[in-house]
Every structure is written in structure tokens, then in C-alpha cells.
Chains A and B, each alone.
Chain A
Amino acid sequence: MSRSPNRLLASLSAGDYRRIAPRLHTIRLNHGSTLPHCGVARVYFPGTGVSSILSRMTDGTTIEVASVGSEGVVGLPALGSQFSAGSYLHVSRGTLQYMALNVFETLCAQTELGTAVGQFCGMFTQSVMQLVACNRLHPLEARCARWILLTHERLHRANFELTQTFLAMAIGAKSGELASIMDRLADRHIVKHDAGSVTLLDPIALRRQACSCYPVLRKNALAPIKCPPRNRGGRHRANVVAMRPMTACTLCGLTRDYPHKTHAECLRALDADLRAVIQRAKQLTQLRGQIAFESMKKFQQFATRSRS
């Protein structure tokens, strides 16, 4: 049976998922579309996309309050009771699954869906707390980098649909401010942007630009959802499982594709990392060449001027 692209749903047992699947519908959305009836009559499970929850002030200014990807569910009345349906927007093209709100509430009570959603709520609240602090303490440039990087990681795509209007709305920037930030990033070959999309060229450099909230938000966005087996009226279980850090292979020391069961898997991981390192070396050599060339040109201009 094919599994849902949404990791929260995919973490459920086969039996539970069989009960839920018939009540799920699929929808494709484009960049910037509203999630229909979200928070009012439907809840959404993002699959290959990211949904944004935006807060709108009476003077029209908006800012993103949280974003949810395949790790969770959007439109819970418990997480956003003050938001109308128009506050839920979709970032970049993707598919989502949805179900009716009352069906969702019933299924939460009857299956392990409730437990999985509870785990998600904990991580979601942590992320929101981080964002409260971030929006106050971190400069716009760092927050912009953080936003682009996190969205890139959730979508697993280097190029994704994103208008500057949307990004400005998401981080609460005026469009002029954002334009100069994006131009600076483009000049340093970190991202490439045109009218409707953004391409990530140098994620490592972008990571350096991003604020210190990025690791926390990333951990919550990409955390595996572990669904404990059904316990009838048992004691509350601690959430430690969901926050277990990644461990590395004892032989090759890499975390890629952990765990490694055979030497061949170690070798595959090592090769993949070596390829990434070589690629990075090529990029750096190229960048060095560019900067050296520019510096030489400047010197030549100076030399020509002083001769005349």
C-alpha cells in the first residue's frame, strides 16, 4: 500500500492508516494559493510542499507566524484559533492531502493519529516560541536566509517558486528592504532569483548567513515522527523518542544513510561525501578565480590611471 508523502500520516500503523486513507482527499496547489476552508472545515497534511500561516493586521501588513511541511498538519483549531481561512497560504507548488475537520477529530480519538498530532504540537509550539524571539532579536538579512534555507530543506529542491512579494510578507519586510537583501545574496552567488522563483546556489554560505534559530527550526521541521504502539489508558509517555539525535556509523564515522549494515554501505556513504567535497572544491576554485580576476582588473585600472 502506498504511503502518504506526509510524514505524520506515514508514521501511523498500517491498520490505522487504512482507516484514515478513505477519508483523505488530494489537492494540488500553486505558489501563493490559499488553502481552501483551512482551519474552518478542513485540516491539511502537506505532502510535497510547505504551508505558511500568516497573521494579517488591520492596516494590511502581514507576517508569517509559522510554517508547516510534511512533518505536520495545518488548520488545527488548537493551533491558530484566531486565524481565518485566508491566513493559510501555500508556498511553492505541491500536493497536499486534506480531510474534514469533524472527521479528523473523530479519527484522532479513535486511532493513534491523536498521539502523532500531539507530538507534532509540541514541536510546533517550540518552533513558534523560537520565532517570537527571532523576529525580535535577529536582523532581517539573517531571518531571510533562514527562511529560504528552511524552505529549501523541506522541499528538497534547489529551485522553487517564490515571489519577492511572498517572501517580504513572510518575514515582515518592506519590499524595498527585501530587494536589496536578495540582490546582495545574488551578488555573492549564494542564490539566484528572478521574478517568480529562487534557486539556491550555495547552501553552505547561506547557512552561515542564517540566524541561530535555524538549527532549532530545522530539527523540528525534519524530525522523524515516532508513533508509540497503542496503549490503552496507560501512563503518559515522554517525548524523548522524537528528539533523539542522529548517531554516526562506528566504522566510517558518517551520518549519511545511517545505519550501515555492510562495508558496501560505508563505502557508498564515503563516496557520496567525497563527491560532495570535490564538487565544493570546484566551486571554491571557481569563486577564487573570479575574485582574483576582479582584483587584478582593479590593479590594472589603477596602474593605467597612474601612468597617464
Chain B
Amino acid sequence: MQLAKPAQTVTTSPAQWSMSSLLSSLPQEDYQRLSSQLTWRPLKVRQTLHKHGEPISEIYFPSRSVISITNAMEDGGIVEVATVGREGLVGIGSVLGNSIASGDAFVQIAGEPAAVMSIDAFRREMERRGPFQELVTRYSQAFVAQLMQSVACNGLHSAEERCCRWLLMTHDRIGQDEFPLTHEFLAIMLGVRRPTVTLVMAELARGGIVSHVRGHVRIVDRKGLEGASCECYRNVRSVFDRLLPRSERASVAIAQ
């Protein structure tokens, strides 16, 4: 579904939307060249971006959204295996050697419009071996690190710790204290039963760490949430910080 581009012309970036960190970290001339191949598409909750088994045709650069990659098992069980936000891109499989999507990618939190690039344009840009290729490669490394940490986390840590980790990662990506989230959805993502999520959230609310109303969650005590989470959050965060240092300076430069 290709919606018309917003009123801004190609040369000015949509500065009022906090853009994908990957894109905003690019040098000015690389970004200018790329922006002619990007379209900005608003996302809808539960919209499927990639389906398991189908070839990847488009790469998405989310901004302030959360996209879930899920694995559907033969016996029908579904669980989230990874999440993507503004720190990365959806479709990293194409960099890691799979032209076919390994899992379903769908929108958890819609946030702001995402930048979309066709797979051919993406590959062409990668073959230039410039700053774009380097950033994407670093992200793919960080993504695999996140995946591997999740293997360990899912095997060893409790539902409460994993829930806190999920909330922390989402908080980082959205940049706001409050976001829409139902217990049912979170339960599917974490691979637990809905009552478990309700119990965990009630416990966190009692401790003054979060507050939740129907369909929304608000982070009240960030430090407390970090304390309740397992160390997997810190481990992955440090890998990301090391490989993809947040360059707020770059986004300011582009906005001018």
C-alpha cells in the first residue's frame, strides 16, 4: 500500500519525526543520495511487513516504532524472537545471507512513518561499500548479538525479568514514557499465558515501577525497571552502544 509522500520535498528530511538512527547517522551526501530512493510510509498496528518464507522485497527503517519478529512453530506456538526499532532495519536477513524472511515481521507499536527502500536499491547501496554498508553491517552484528542473548534469556530467566527487559527495550525505542500495549499481546510476544503478564504487571505496579490502564503502559520508575530486569538488557545495550554509538549530532546536522 503506497501512500503519497508527505508535503515535504525530497531534499528536506522530515526532521519533526525522529528518524531512524541508522539513517540519521549517515553523512550528509550519502543521506541525500539515499533519500531519493526512500518512501515514507505510516505503519499500522499488527500490519505484517514480512511473512515467513516469502522473499524480502522491501527494507524498512522504523522511527519510534517497534516491529516484532516472530517464529511460528510447527505445533502452532508463537513467540517473539527479536524486536526492531529506530536503531535498525527490518529485513536484516538479506544481509545475513537469507533472501527469504525467516520469521514474520509485524508492527507492534505503530509510532511514526517508516522509511521504506526496495531490496534492489538496498543491495545497490550496500555494494558501494560506503558508510551505509558499514552501518548496516554493524547493525547486523548487533542484531545477532541480541538474538543470541535472547536464546539465553528465554532459557534461563523468569517471565518477570523478561517482561521488564521487553519494556526497557521498548522504552528506548519509543522515547516516550507511555505507549499502547495490551496484556494479551505482550503475553504472545513473551510466550507466556495472559494471566502471567497480568500478574507481573500488577507486581510492577505495586512496586511503583509502572502504571497501567487498559491498553496502555506508563514507565514510572526507569531505574526500578532496570533493577527488575535480567542482565540481558544491559548486555545487549552495551553491544549496541559499542557498535552503533548514538549520534544525535548527525540528526541535528541533517535537520538544518
What residues make up the interface of A, taking CB atoms closer than 8 Å to B?
53, 55, 57-58, 61, 63, 65-66, 77-83, 118-123, 125-126, 128-133, 135-137, 171-172, 212-213, 215, 233, 235-236, 238-239
List 19 contacting pairs A-B, 8 Å CB cutoff, sorted by A: A55-B151, A55-B152, A63-B152, A66-B148, A82-B145, A122-B97, A128-B144, A128-B147, A129-B71, A129-B82, A129-B102, A131-B151, A132-B147, A133-B71, A135-B155, A136-B79, A136-B191, A172-B155, A172-B156
A121 touching B96 in the complex, CB below 8 Å, given contacts A133-B77, A136-B191: yes
CB distance from A89 to the nearest CB of B (A): 14
The CA of A236 and the CA of B140, in the complex, are separated in Å by 18
Contact in complex: B243, A81 (CB < 8 Å): yes
Contact in complex: B150, A132 (CB < 8 Å): yes
Chain A neighbourhood of B77, CB < 8 A: 133, 137
CB distance from B33 to the nearest CB of A (A): 20
The CA of A196 and the CA of B243, in the complex, are separated in Å by 41
A137 touching B151 in the complex, CB below 8 Å, given contacts A79-B144, A125-B102, A129-B81: no
CB distance from B133 to the nearest CB of A (A): 13
Most buried by A among B55, B96, B140: B96
CB distance from A125 to the nearest CB of B (A): 5
Contact in complex: A80, B144 (CB < 8 Å): yes
Contact in complex: A81, B145 (CB < 8 Å): yes
Contact with A along B134-169 (1 / 0, CB 8 A): 000100111011011111101110000000000000
Chain A neighbourhood of B144, CB < 8 A: 78-80, 125, 128
Contact in complex: B97, A119 (CB < 8 Å): yes
Within 8 A of A (CB), among B37-85: 55, 69, 71, 73-75, 77, 79, 81-82
Chain B neighbourhood of A61, CB < 8 A: 156
The CA of A129 and the CA of B100, in the complex, are separated in Å by 14
